[in-house]
């Protein structure tokens, strides 16, 4: 029986064992008893919602992002939905979103009653193409939701210019970009508001679902806090139709424990990403991420593009290397949206969806294991498919 790799930074990795795409237990081992103590602290308090742990995490994460406010909510999807609703976006409005992203970006718009309007992405960065934004704006457009995909900031200067010209809100979907920087400023502080996910696989991931809104807008933050708790400011006094979307105390406590480690974890991700970039170089059959000089990504994912992706993935699997395919079905091709967006509307996103392959990358992954993955990819690409 093959035993999963037990990777602890500083120890020599066993290169004969399986390589998981992500090892959440490695993070827990690194934190030692810190995480258990934080969870115990929250449980011992006897106060499980809207308490001190959440207040402190909101203060700490706002300071980390460089914003005045952070509002903890139940998920990343909820963060986008609630900040749009807090800004007054709703039925009759349109919101511009990238065609290549997780479907939550689109669903959040739908949940407000507004209509998501897809825009194609750049092939080099996988992020929304600012050159196409102007043509997507109509008299009904209320906001743009750029996604900092894979931890790489979108071109916020170009996006902000279009938004300013048309008086549009800019809400960052920063679900994959905790700590990423655009011209020295962190994501979540680059638009009118930012929306984060704390899903366990994220760079800053909790021990369950969770999310947050960041903003400098006092009124936006106040209304988001109202909406996340049924639209209720004081018990039984419902001011408007809100939702139940609160970041639990135990989640806030866990995130407070992890936040001081985030920058070091992101640096470790960057080292691994450089290893992959160096290994693949200018290989004609493998496309690698392009990082603009103004961007400091945090490498939530490292995705390569390969024409015969499925064969490569199968070859890696046979060597015990787990990979993932992110977004083979684009949001506009999923059931809720396919009728409005037939094939061919987003040629770049469709090409990326058919070729992108995400490789193992997380802070505790040993560089030697990373090198083994890269070598396996190069071997698979050099070996003709039997199909």
pLDDT tens per residue, range 148-166: 999 999 999 999 999 999 9
Which residue is it, tokens 């011992």? 44
Is residue 13 very low, low, confident or very high in pLDDT (cuts 50, 70, 90)? Answer: very low
Residue 250's CB: how many other CB atoms inside 10 A? 22
Backbone angle region of 224, left / alpha / beta, with phi > 0 → left and psi within -120 to 50 → alpha: alpha
Number of H helices, E strands in the chain: 13, 14
Domain with CATH 3.40.640.10 in the chain: 34-260
pLDDT bracket for residue 385 (50, 70, 90): low
- In the chain, CATH 3.90.1150.10 sits at 24-30+261-382
Q: Please give the CATH topology (third level) of the domain spanning 24-30+261-382.
A: 3.90.1150
- Give the dihedral of Cα atoms 287, 292, 295, 301; nearest 10 deg: -10
Return the CA Rg of the chain: 21
- Residue 347's pLDDT band, with cuts at 50, 70 and 90, is very high
Mean pLDDT confidence for 63-84: 98
pLDDT band per the 50, 70, 90 thresholds, residue 12: very low
In sequence order, the β-bridge partners of residue 121 are 128
- Nearest-angstrom CA–CA distance, 213 and 302: 25
Burial of residue 33 (number of CB atoms within 10 Å: 0-12, 13-18, 19+): exposed
Residue for token pair 């021990």: 207
Mean pLDDT of the chain: 93
Q: What is the mean pLDDT of residues 207-229?
A: 97
Residue 198 has pLDDT above 90, yes or no: yes
The H or E element that residue 262 is part of is helix 262-280
Query: Does 3 have pLDDT greater than 50?
Result: no
- Over 60: is that where the pLDDT of 218 sits? yes
Is residue 9 pLDDT above 80, yes or no?
no
pLDDT at 373 over 50: yes
- Among 179-188, 194-203, 374-383, the range scoring the smallest mean pLDDT is 374-383
Q: How far apart are CA 361 and CA 141, in angstroms?
A: 37
Q: What is the mean pLDDT of residues 135-139?
A: 97
Instruction: Confirm if 130 and 159 have CB atoms less than 8 A apart.
Output: yes
Predicted local confidence at residue 238, as pLDDT: 86
Q: How far, in whole angstroms, is CA 373 from its chain's centroid?
A: 23
Q: Give the C-alpha separation, 74 to 78, whole Å.
A: 6
Do the beta carbons of residue 214 and residue 94 sit within 8 Å?
no
User: Does the 34-260 domain belong in CATH 2.30.30.100?
Assistant: no
Residues 204/262, Cβ–Cβ less than 8 Å: yes
Per-residue pLDDT at 16 exceeds 60: no
Give ∠ CA 169-125-188 in degrees, rounded to 5: 35
Q: Residues for the chain: how many in total? A: 387
Write down the pLDDT at residue 166.
97
Q: What is the pLDDT of residue 1?
A: 28
pLDDT tens for 45-67 read 999 999 999 999 999 999 999 99
Q: At 313, give phi and psi (nearest 5°).
A: -60, -40
Cβ pair 374, 381 in contact under 8 A: no
pLDDT of 203 above 60: yes
Kindly indicate the confidence band of residue 282, based on its pLDDT and cuts at 50, 70 and 90: confident
For residue range 85-133, list pLDDT tens digits in order.
999 999 999 999 999 999 999 999 999 999 999 999 999 999 999 999 9
- 13-17, 212-216, 229-233, 256-260: segment of lowest average pLDDT: 13-17
């Amino acid at each position: 029986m093959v035993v999963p790799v037990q990777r602890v930074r500083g120890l020599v990795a066993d290169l004969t064992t399986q390589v998981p795409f992500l090892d959440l237990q490695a993070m827990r081992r690194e934190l030692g008893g810190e995480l258990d103590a934080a969870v115990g602290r929250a449980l011992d308090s006897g106060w499980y919602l809207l308490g001190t742990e959440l207040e402190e995490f909101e203060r700490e994460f706002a300071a980390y992002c460089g914003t005045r406010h952070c509002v903890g909510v139940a998920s990343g999807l909820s963060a986008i939905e609630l900040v749009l609703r807090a800004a007054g976006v709703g039925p009759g409005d349109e919101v511009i979103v990238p065609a290549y992203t997780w479907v939550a970006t689109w669903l959040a718009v739908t949940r407000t009653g507004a209509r998501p309007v897809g825009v194609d992405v750049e092939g080099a960065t996988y992020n929304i193409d600012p050159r196409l934004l102007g043509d997507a704006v109509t008299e009904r457009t209320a906001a743009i939701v750029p996604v900092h995909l894979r931890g790489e900031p979108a071109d916020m200067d170009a996006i902000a210019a279009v938004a300013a010209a048309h008086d549009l809100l800019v809400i960052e979907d920063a679900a994959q970009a905790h700590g990423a920087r655009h011209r020295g400023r962190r994501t979540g502080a680059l638009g009118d508001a930012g929306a984060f996910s704390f899903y366990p696989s994220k760079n800053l991931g909790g021990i369950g679902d969770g999310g947050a809104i960041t903003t400098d807008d006092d009124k936006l933050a106040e209304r988001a806090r109202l909406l996340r708790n049924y639209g209720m400011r004081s018990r039984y006094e419902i001011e408007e139709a809100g939702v139940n979307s609160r970041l639990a105390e135990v989640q806030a406590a866990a995130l407070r424990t992890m936040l001081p480690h985030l920058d070091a974890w992101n640096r470790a991700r960057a080292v691994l990403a450089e290893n992959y970039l160096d290994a693949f170089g200018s290989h004609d059959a493998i496309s690698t991420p392009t990082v603009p000089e103004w961007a400091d990504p945090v490498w939530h994912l490292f995705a390569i593009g390969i024409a015969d992706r499925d064969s490569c993935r199968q070859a890696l699997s046979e060597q015990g290397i787990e990979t993932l395919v992110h977004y083979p079905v684009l949001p506009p091709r999923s059931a809720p949206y396919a009728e409005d967006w037939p094939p061919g509307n987003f040629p770049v996103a469709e090409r990326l969806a058919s070729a992108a392959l995400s490789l193992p990358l997380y802070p505790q992954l040993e560089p030697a294991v990373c090198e083994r993955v890269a070598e396996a990819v190069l071997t698979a690409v050099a070996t003709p498919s039997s199909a």
